Chain A
Amino acid sequence: MSGSTLVIAGRIINQLVRDRRTIILIAVVPLVIASLVGVSVPDKSILDYTAPAILAVLILFFGFLLTGISFLRERSQGTLERLMASPVSRLDIVGGYLLGFLLFAVLQTMVLFFYLIYVLNVNYYGDLWQILVFQVLIGIGAVCMGTFFSVLAKNEFQMVQFIPMIIVPQMFLCGLLWPVSQMPEYLQWLANALPMTYGVSGIRALMMQGQDLLDIGQEIGVLAAYAVGLLILSAITLRRGKG
């Protein structure tokens, strides 16, 4: 990691901190969604089953959206061009985004986690630090995904269209609402190719079954592979001298 990566990450944190409305939305909106689920489920055991998945899905959703829009703005306001003409590398730029947004993903996870546990009384059995580490991994995947898809979008309207294309299908297929094993076989095949499925499966294993990170090696491996793959793709699509 170079100094430029940290400089870019610091700038992103600065930008978000100065945008108070966004900060409030980042903190409050997940709590509102969790509360809606919390008061609408008829059975407490359903909430215990759904809550870990909500934790994972919301991090993916907000990580994707915030990074995607921010990166797109970086291009549309011309600052990306300025950065590309400077001595920073493509990996510095993508890495800076990753670090900057990850901080907010971790904070969001902690706020949501404690809300689920202490306000909505969700039962959990795992270690907090292991849950956080795994959430960070989902956050990394979300930031890489947001960065990559923002390169494909030409404006914010197009970026928002990626939500029903990329995020919503994953929400339905990841096991948030019903187990993947109860889906038709061809949908299971599709679900098993999507990163969110591994995010939900991993966080449930940590929170509901009290397993360790070492027990969910497959989930960690798939999420890490997605993150690295998307990070490389993002850096490639950002190449200098494109034209």
Chain B
Amino acid sequence: MKEAAIAVSNLSFSYGRQKVLDGLSLEVPGGISFGLLGPNGAGKTTLIRLLVGLLRAKSGTILTLGKKPSPRTAHLIGYMPQLPSLYAELSVIQNVEFFARIYRLNDRKQRTQRVEEIIKLVDLWQHRNKSVTNLSGGMKQRASLACAIVHNPPLIFLDEPTVGLDPELRVHFWDYFQGLTGGGSTLIISSHTMDDAAHCDRLAFMRDGNIIALGAPDELRQATGQAEATLEDAFLYFIKHGGVNKNVR
């Protein structure tokens, strides 16, 4: 197994008096797709924002690629927020080009080549000069993904990347995600749909600010003891039977 891309120990975080994460520990090996699964309010987005360095932990430690999250390590990380988070007045190519420059792809020739490559990859080449305002929801998601990975980062955080996508596009996204992990990148994907969960190499079921189960999708299904169990059944099983940090390995 490769070196851990993420190592979190005893992490707690609160918004004011509201505790969102409560002593969470987690280790994610490199080069896999790792799903954070749980209902709304489980703490997935907060965990991602902490891992990216947008929030500071009240207690506990976080290491991403062996280092504490900081602006110095930010170029190694790709981040796709839950909202498309694009400049509405700019075109697709202008948005992607902007983030390429922000992530210091300074060589103009290489940058142009990479921007073109990534826009083609998310299948927006024929829409590259359209303003973001004029794109559909799915196109915005694809443009947002292109901005997050244009600098080819080894560690990528995708917060609910498939929300609002039609089934065909969802399959297309997952094909692409698998291509990224095949290339050695680590993907951390939050989702609340079990359909997404099935595509991940490993999963963490989250509830009330903690991890209730951890393992490969098949391991989690088998842990229920039912031959035909779905991931949804597994999630419900761990809610019913599992204590905090019940680990399936």
Point out residues on A near B: beta carbons under 8 Å: 3-4, 7-8, 11, 14-15, 18-19, 77-79, 81-89, 240-243
B104 within 8 Å of A (CB atoms): yes
B173 within 8 Å of A (CB atoms): no
B52 within 8 Å of A (CB atoms): yes
Q: Select from chain A the residue with minimum beta-carbon distance to B157.
A: A85
**Residue B79 contacts which of A15, A82, A88, A243 (CB distance < 8 angstroms)?**
A82
Known contacts A18-B131, A78-B83, A87-B74: A243-B99 contact under CB 8 Å: no
Q: Select from chain A the residue with minimum beta-carbon distance to B147.
A: A82
A-B pairs with beta carbons under 8 Å apart, 18 shown: A4-B101, A7-B98, A11-B98, A14-B90, A15-B87, A15-B90, A18-B89, A18-B90, A77-B83, A81-B54, A82-B147, A85-B77, A88-B102, A240-B71, A241-B54, A243-B15, A243-B49, A243-B54
**Residue B87 contacts which of A7, A11, A84 (CB distance < 8 angstroms)?**
A11
B103 within 8 Å of A (CB atoms): yes
| Chain A positions within 8 Å of B77 at CB level | 85
Q: Is the CB of A240 within 8 A of B53?
A: yes
Q: Select from chain B the residue with minimum beta-carbon distance to A81.
A: B81
How many chain B residues touch A (CB < 8 A): the figure is 34
| Chain A positions within 8 Å of B103 at CB level | 86-87
Q: Is the CB of A78 within 8 A of B56?
A: no
Q: Is the CB of A87 within 8 A of B89?
A: no
**Residue B71 contacts which of A3, A82, A87, A242 (CB distance < 8 angstroms)?**
A87
| Chain A positions within 8 Å of B34 at CB level | none
B94 within 8 Å of A (CB atoms): yes
Q: Is the CB of A84 within 8 A of B102?
A: no
Point out residues on B near A: beta carbons under 8 Å: 13, 15, 49, 52-56, 71-72, 74-75, 77, 79, 81-90, 94, 98-99, 101-104, 106, 131, 147
Q: Is the CB of B53 within 8 A of A85?
A: yes
**Residue A86 contacts which of B74, B89, B90 (CB distance < 8 angstroms)?**
B74
| Chain B positions within 8 Å of A4 at CB level | 101-102
CA A14 – CA B90 in complex, angstroms?
7
CA A15 – CA B84 in complex, angstroms?
17
Q: Select from chain B the residue with minimum beta-carbon distance to A243.
A: B55
Q: Select from chain A the residue with minimum beta-carbon distance to B48.
A: A85
Known contacts A3-B106, A7-B102, A18-B131: A82-B74 contact under CB 8 Å: no
B219 CB to closest chain A CB (Å) equals: 32
CA A79 – CA B77 in complex, angstroms?
16
Q: Is the CB of B87 within 8 A of A78?
A: no
Task: Name the residue among A3, A78, A89 with the largest chain B CB count within 10 angstroms.
Answer: A78
Known contacts A87-B75, A87-B103: A78-B84 contact under CB 8 Å: yes
CA A4 – CA B102 in complex, angstroms?
6
| Chain B positions within 8 Å of A241 at CB level | 53-56
CA A84 – CA B77 in complex, angstroms?
12
Q: Is the CB of B101 within 8 A of A7?
A: yes
| Chain A positions within 8 Å of B71 at CB level | 87-89, 240
| Chain A positions within 8 Å of B83 at CB level | 77-78
Q: Select from chain B the residue with minimum beta-carbon distance to A73.
A: B88
B136 CB to closest chain A CB (Å) equals: 17
**Residue A82 contacts which of B55, B85, B88, B89 (CB distance < 8 angstroms)?**
B85
Q: Is the CB of B54 within 8 A of A86?
A: no
CA A15 – CA B88 in complex, angstroms?
9
Known: A3-B104, A15-B90, A240-B54. 18 other contacts (CB 8 A): A7-B102, A14-B94, A18-B89, A77-B88, A79-B85, A79-B87, A82-B81, A82-B99, A83-B102, A86-B74, A86-B75, A87-B71, A87-B72, A87-B75, A87-B102, A89-B71, A241-B55, A242-B56
Known contacts A89-B71, A243-B15: A84-B88 contact under CB 8 Å: no
Q: Is the CB of A15 within 8 A of B54?
A: no
CA A78 – CA B45 in complex, angstroms?
14
| Chain B positions within 8 Å of A19 at CB level | 89
Task: Name the residue among A86, A240, A242 with the largest chain B CB count within 10 angstroms.
Answer: A86
